[in-house]
Chain A
Amino acid sequence: NAGVTQTPKFRILKIGQSMTLQCTQDMNHNYMYWYRQDPGMGLKLIYYSVGAGITDKGEVPNGYNVSRSTTEDFPLRLELAAPSQTSVYFCASKISSQGIGYTFGSGTRLTVV
């Protein structure tokens, strides 16, 4: 079982560059999420999606965009990378909105220089 797959695992960007972090899940989960984890901090929600074609902002959405054209994929786009976006990014999914735990991907470590 692949679960939640994130690519790339590591990336270094220059200030002002753009990139897309990929997230795919093969569990037919409706709900998908993007979190960022800063050093010594807990995870903060960037965006989430409750199904294909539906997305909503989380706690820290500025500087990011998302789309959800299929159930499986939930890419996160950084348009103009800034040093403040240096972080580890986690994608997660769950089958419903009920209070169950997420399935997390292994993370993408992004450094903006």
Chain B
Amino acid sequence: AQKVTQAQTEISVVEKEDVTLDCVYETRDTTYYLFWYKQPPSGELVFLIRRNSFDEQNEISGRYSWNFQKSTSSFNFTITASQVVDSAVYFCALSPIYNFNKFYFGSGTKLNVKP
């Protein structure tokens, strides 16, 4: 069975603070993809990153970084020096490589960045 857990329902930080959003997944597959999506107040989901299970290198993109640890089945997302525009709901998702049409989403973490 596939499952993605985002235990943090809502997080509030003050601008310029760093914040980490947790994502833990369950899968019996050895090969899969992991994703992060951002859903701003406008509602549309925006693709942020894809990581395949072969590659455990951390990735950094500007203020965003992702830590993938296969040993703990986690794919955490860190925003450095948060900004008000980062306020959104963030979703983690899992997709088995054998069936790219099936995405399993976590329940999302709402991030509030206050000025």
Contact = CB atoms under 8 A, between A and B. Distances in A.
Interface string A21-62: 000000000010100000011111100101000001011000
Interface stretch (A12-20, A72-80, A99-107): A99-107
Nearest to A41: B107
A43 B103 contact: yes
A99 B33 contact: yes
A62 B5 CA distance: 25
A87 to B, nearest CB: 13
Nearest to A56: B101
B74 to A, nearest CB: 17
By size class, the interface of chain A is 20 to 34
A101 B107 contact: no
A31 B101 contact: yes
A84 interface: no
Nearest to A90: B45
Contacts of B95: 99
A1 interface: no
A59 to B, nearest CB: 8
Nearest to A106: B44
Contact of A43 (B6, B44, B101, B105): B105
Interface in B72-115: 91, 93, 95, 97, 100-108
A82 interface: no
B101 A106 contact: no
A44 B105 CA distance: 7
A99 B9 contact: no
Interface of B: 4, 6, 9, 33, 35, 37, 42-47, 50, 52, 91, 93, 95, 97, 100-108
6 contacts: A42-B104, A58-B102, A90-B45, A99-B33, A103-B47, A104-B46
